[in-house]
Each structure stands twice: as C-alpha cells, then as structure tokens.
Amino acid sequence: MFNIGIIGCGKIAQVRHIPEYAAHPQAKLWGYYDLNQDRAKELAEQYGGKVYPSWRDLLADPEIDAVSVCAANNAHAEITIAALEAGKHVLCEKPMATTLAECEAMVAAAKKSGKYLMIGHNQRLAKAHARARKLVEEGAIGDIVTFRTTFGHGGPETWSVDPGKATWFFDKKKAAMGAMADLGIHKTDLIQFLTGQKVVETTAVVTTLDKKGPDGQLIGVDDNAVCIYRMSGGAVGTMTASWTYYGAEDNSTILYGTKGIMRIYDDPAYSIKITTADGENILYDIDQIQTNDNQTKSGVIDLFMDSLVNGTPPEISGEEALSAMRAVFASIRSAETGERVTVKQD
C-alpha cells in the first residue's frame, strides 16, 4: 500500500487524481494541501486523510510515499524538486514547468533522488491513440508524410474549479503560458508518440485573439497556438491548440501516409478510420475521446501506481516529457521572433 499526498486540490485533482487513487487497491489517500484550506478539508472528509497547513508540512510527513502535484503551473518545479528531495515519488500535472531550465532541474532532481518523476501527458494513454501507434508501427498507412493534430475547446474558465474570467489559467504570473501549455503540450507529446519521431523544427504563431479578463482586456497568456512541426523522420504537419472553439471540442489527429490516411477521434462513430490508397475503409470502434463535459478514467494514476507497485520507471517520465517541452518553448520563441526555430533534442 502506498500513501499518497495531494498538493493542489483544484479541478484536475477532484475529477482525475483523487477519485482514481481512491479506486486503486494499492493507493491510500493520506493527505491534502491547497491554498483554499476549506477545499482541502472537504476532500479529506469525503475521501479520508488529513489536511496540512503547507505543502512543505505535507512533504515532511515520512508516512507519505508519493505525491500528485496539481498546483498552478508556476509552482510545479519548486514543489516537485522539494518532493523528490524529501524522498517522495512525484506525479506532476502538465505543463511540466514554466521554463526549460526548471524542467531540466526536475529531471536532475529525480535522478539524484532515485525517485520516480512522471508527467500527466494522458493523451497517449487513450485507447485509440495506443492502437493507432501500433497500426503506424505495423505500416498500416505506410510512412507518415504529413499530419494535423488539434485540441480545442471553449476555454478553462468553463472548467476551472474557480470558473469565470478570473480563473488562474488567465493569470500570467501563475500560469505563465496559455493554450499552448494547457492543450498544445498534450498534442505535441501525442504526435511524437504516434509518429515515433521528435519535433526538430517549429514555426509558430502563439497569440491572444479573443479571451478577455475581468477588466475587459485581452488576457496575458495565449488563447491560440498554431505550429508547423518538422519531425526527425522527415514528416511535416500542424499542431493547433485553442481556447476559442465555442462549440464541440476538437481533439482529433489525422495522419497522412504513403499508403493511406488515418483519422483518429475525427469521426463521431469510429475512433479510428483508415482510408487506404485504393479506397478501402477500415473502421475501428474502440472508445470515445474524453471531453471536459465527459470525464472518464484517464489511465494516468493507474500507470503511476503500476510504477510504484512494480518498481519500474514510468513510461511518461520527466525525461520523456522533456522533448515535448523543448518543442513548446521553441514554439513560443518562434512566435516571439517570427522565425523558424530549431528544437535541440538529445
């Protein structure tokens, strides 16, 4: 049995981390910390466990084996590094951190401590994405030439634990980045996962087009990002992240190969649809993609717990997440300079 601490008790903790730990036979929810102590107390009463006056007090408890870091983006690195130094395994929500140096420091801290660091990139765990990767590896559509991957919805103000225009997601100091870090990191990690290639060059527009804060002015972080990625294997495609899709969510990916086209979560009836070069349609009814309005089990907690129980490094380790974060920061730099930027991958 592993005792789990929750740092940050907002929406992602409430709908994903906490209930999924509660459902796992090897996890025990031991403690909670949140800036809003009443929120932490309510969760402790519901799921069991104690509330700590600070996250440092939580990390000082020797009974806690691992923590989920679900705090605001600007706190990820500090809390994660402190947790690893305190001998805790860490599952950190995305984006990993707000600078590349912070991300690298988190990875270094994990190596030094000998504890696991996992990042919550859940898109690759969706059943259709896992199947799509196998189909690509088997050559179902030949070599991938181009792609389009998109993640767009109406914005975090409709989903945040404190909904409305004052949500912390719009606060530059707390969030640092907007749609690119909230949604773009997911699709960047996903396209690398699906293609088996790394992003090595990006040309990007990362901008604020519509979202306004309580003062009626455009928010301080981006609400849209459109990136052209060149991959290590030669494929070129687009990654779009948006908080201004005021209607149904779009969480689709299309891969264009030398032997056909694969559409993933692009058809309401079939989670994967392959159209071969000779016109044959191959349909897969696997599952439906999660949306903000339809939350189901993410698989992230199960994967993290598998690592703890089996003593094996997590698939989505901090080191694995670094390559996608490099592409994100390079895209932001591309948008700032108006130039193509090379992504230096290890």
Higher pLDDT, 229 or 296: 229
Q: How far apart are CA 318 and CA 90, in angstroms?
A: 10
d(CA 251, CA 151): 4
Of 107-116, 230-239, 292-301, 305-314, least confident by mean pLDDT is 292-301
Give the bridge partners for 50, in sequence order: 31
pLDDT above 90 (res 296): no
Please say whether the beta carbons of 301 and 293 come within 8 A. Answer: no
Q: Is the pLDDT of residue 148 over 80?
A: yes
List the single range of 155-164, 228-237, 333-342 with lowest mean pLDDT: 155-164
pLDDT for the residue numbered 289: 63
Show Cβ contacts of residue 303 under 8 Å, excluding neighbours closer than 6 positions.
118, 125, 314, 315, 316
> 331: helix, coil or strand?
helix
Q: Does domain 2-122 have CATH number 3.40.50.720?
A: yes
Q: In the chain, what is the greatest distance between 2 CA atoms, to the nearest angstrom?
A: 64
* Residues near 229 by beta carbon (within 8 Å), at least 6 away in sequence: 188, 191, 199, 201, 202, 236, 237, 238, 239, 327
Q: Which CATH code fits 123-298+323-342?
A: 3.30.360.10
CA distance 252 to 254: 7
In one letter, which amino acid is 297? K
Catalytic residue among 11, 28, 88, 94: 94
Alpha helices in 114-266 (DSSP H): 127-137, 172-175, 179, 185-195
**Whole-number pLDDT of residue 287:** 78
Q: Looking at 23-99, list the stretches that DSSP marks H as alpha helix, in order from N- to C-terminal side.
A: 37-47, 55-59, 76-85
- Taking the complete model, does pTM exceed 0.85, yes or no? yes
Question: Rounded distance, CA 5 to CA 253, Å?
Answer: 35
Give tens-digit pLDDT for 36-63: 999 999 999 999 999 999 999 999 999 9
Euclidean distance between CA atoms 315 and 306, whole angstroms: 10
Tell me the percentage of the chain whose pLDDT exceeds 90.
91
Query: Domain coordinates of the chain in residue numbers?
Result: 2-122, 123-298+323-342
Q: pLDDT tens across 84-114, in order?
A: 999 999 999 999 999 999 999 999 999 999 9
Per-residue pLDDT, averaged over 329-340, amounts to 97
- 94 catalytic? Reply is yes
Quick one: pLDDT at residue 161?
72
What is the structure's pLDDT at 164? Answer: 85
Structure tokens at 168: 């912390």
pLDDT tens digits, 241-267: 999 999 999 999 999 999 999 999 999
Residue 158 is predicted with a pLDDT of 83
Q: For 151-176, what is the mean pLDDT?
A: 88
